Structure formats: structure tokens, C-alpha cells
Amino acid sequence: MTTTPTIHLNDGNEIPAIGFGTFQIPSDGSTYKAVTEALKDGYRHIDTAVAYFNEAEVGQAVRDSGIPRDQIWITSKLWLQDFGYEPAKTAIDLSLKKLGVDYIDLYLIHQPYGDVPGAWRAMEEAQQAGKLKSIGVSNMTPKIWNSFVPDFTVKPAVNQVEFNPTFQQKPIRQLMAADDVKLEAWAPLGQGNQALLTDPVITKLAAKYGKDAGQVILRFENQLGVIVFPKSVHADRIKSNLDIFDFTLTPAEMTDLIGLDTGKGQHDPDAPGVEKMLAGYDVHAND
């Protein structure tokens, strides 16, 4: 079993550097099975969200694992349907109930639109009450960041954004660095982007180190200080994605990989219509 290193957050907590993502894994037993496999392989960081509709299966897998609760880092996220002070308070308690835990290690503003300040205030209070250990944001661009974060009393511990070698988020990373806010990468492997996975820079390194392209990409991101949580429902892939700590990319190799950045991703939170589209997504239809 692999013991994963941790990354120090600005609130004093230590987050496992690599975790297991559960986005788009169905809540039909598939999430339970995948998380159980991940925990067996050595993952100690599980990322979910109310909008994934699988918090209950994540919580059940954690409880059934037999691993002490304080050894597993659980992240969940507040959907914008619940933004505002009072709705957020209710939603936090509901996530705790669905997960079946007394606290959540990291809780994020999932889509940063609407009454973000009210939601953040509720999250700050929940952190003070011990319901949330760390709090953070996601999908924040420089424009959105500057609209909200300067007015927060508690600065975010992380900003979870799209990140991979071709989209390295340099402008927002510069802003985050001022408050030592760590970047978490969703879609760290480019959501299966074959152009990325077959890039000659990456495949050459994979051959050199006896690794696959995904392992090289995850190691690159880890060496940048980025928190990653690749997702898979395949047991062999779940295991191999964790096996990235037995080699180290050289400074020259890191420079080559940094050179793959295009500054463009698949999701633009600033694009017209994104807020309206996301606001119509009902996460409580089955509650």
C-alpha cells in the first residue's frame, strides 16, 4: 500500500497530496465499489459533492473500510442552489447527514455565483463550530476571485479548478500565492484527452521512467505543489494512479512539461450563460 505525502494548507491542516475523485460515478453502488477499492489501495483523500449525488455511498464506503475516520480526508461541496447564509447552513448539515460523519475535512463553494458572501459566512461559522475543518472555493478565475475573496474574513485554503499540463492556470495561481492558497486540480489528466496522453514530451518521459502517461502527468502536477484526485472506476487504473512517488522528474523535464501550457481549458467560468445554466441544476429533487 502506498503512503501518500501531504501538503500543508494555510489554515494549518495537512491534506493528502493525491486523492480519489468521484465526479460522474453513479450512486448505484458504483461509487461505493470504487471508493472501497481506492481506500484498499491506499488513498486517504476522497472528493465528492452534493451535486454528484453520491455523498451517501462515499460515507458508507468510508465507514465500512475500518479505517479510522481521522485518517481519511473527505471533501464535499456546496452547490449554488444553496448559496446564502441560511440555505448554506442547512446544506452543510445535510451533507454531514448524507456522509454520516461528524465533520467534513474540506468544504468548497462549488460554483462561485450568486450569494457567495452569505454562503461563505455560513461556512466560516461551521468551521468555527468544528463541522468543517478547512474551507475553500472552486472554479474561481481571477475575475471571480477579485469579486469575492478580498472581502472574506477567512481566506480559502484551496481553489479547485480545471488543471492539466495544457492548462496550467498561471494567472489565478499568482493571485492565490499571496494568501498561500493551494490549487486542487479537477480533470488532472485532461478528462482522457488523447492529444495530451500521447504528447511526445510525455510519452518519452513515460518510457524513460517505466510509467504510463497518466502517471507522468500526475507526478508533474504533484511536483508543482498541485493537489490531484484522478477518477476511475477501473481497479487497475485506480491503483496505478496512486503509484507516482517512486520517481522524480528533473528540473529540465519539469520545464519541458511547463512548456506544454496553452492557457486554454475546456471550461470557462467567466463565459456568458454559465451561471444561468448551472443555476437551473436542482440537487435536492430527490431529498
* pLDDT score, position 287: 74
* Angle (nearest 5°) at CA 202 between 200 and 208: 100
At 285 the pLDDT is: 82
CA distances from 280 to 27, 112, 283 (A): 21, 14, 10
Q: What is the DSSP string of the chain?
A: -PPPPEEE-TTS-EEESB-EE-TT--TTTHHHHHHHHHHHHT--EEE--GGGT-HHHHHHHHHHT---GGGSEEEEEE-GGG-SHHHHHHHHHHHHHHHT-S-EEEEEESS--SSHHHHHHHHHHHHHTTSEEEEEEES--HHHHHHHGGG-SSPPSEEEEE-BTTB--HHHHHHHHTTTPEEEEESTTTTT-HHHHT-HHHHHHHHHHT--HHHHHHHHHHHTT-EE----S-HHHHHHHH--SS----HHHHHHHHTT--S--S--TTSTTHHHHHHT--S-TT-
The answer, yes or no, to whether residue 227 has pLDDT greater than 70, is: yes
Look up cell 461541496; give the residue.
Answer: 77
Q: Kindly state the percentage of the chain with pLDDT values over 70.
A: 99
| Band of pLDDT at residue 2, cut at 50, 70 and 90 | low
Query: Tell me, what's the pLDDT at 191?
Result: 86
Instruction: Give the number of other Cβ atoms within 10 Å of residue 36's Cβ.
Output: 16
Q: Are residues 229 and 220 in contact, defined by beta-carbon separation less than 8 angstroms?
A: no
Contact present, 242 and 42 (Cβ < 8 Å) = yes
- Asked whether residue 230 carries a pLDDT value surpassing 70, the answer given is yes
Rounded to the nearest integer, the mean pLDDT of the chain is 95
Q: Given this model, what pLDDT does residue 104 score? A: 98
- Going by C-alpha positions, the residue among 94, 155, 142, 88 that lies closest to residue 115 is 88
Residue type, 248: T
CB 51 within 8 A of CB 285: no
Q: What is the mean pLDDT of residues 56-75?
A: 97
Write down the pLDDT at residue 263: 94
Whether the per-residue pLDDT at 109 is higher than 70: the answer is yes
- By annotation, the residues acting in catalysis are 52
Whether residue 286 has pLDDT greater than 90: no
Q: Which of the four pLDDT bands, split at 50, 70 and 90, describes residue 103?
A: very high
Band of the pLDDT at 206, cuts 50, 70, 90?
Answer: very high
Nearest to 238 by CA among 1, 16, 74: 1
Sign of CA dihedral 89, 90, 93, 98: negative
Mean pLDDT within 77-97: 97
What DSSP string describes 190-233? Answer: TTT-HHHHT-HHHHHHHHHHT--HHHHHHHHHHHTT-EE----S
Determine the pLDDT at residue 258.
Answer: 98
Q: What is the arithmetic mean of pLDDT over 124-139? A: 98
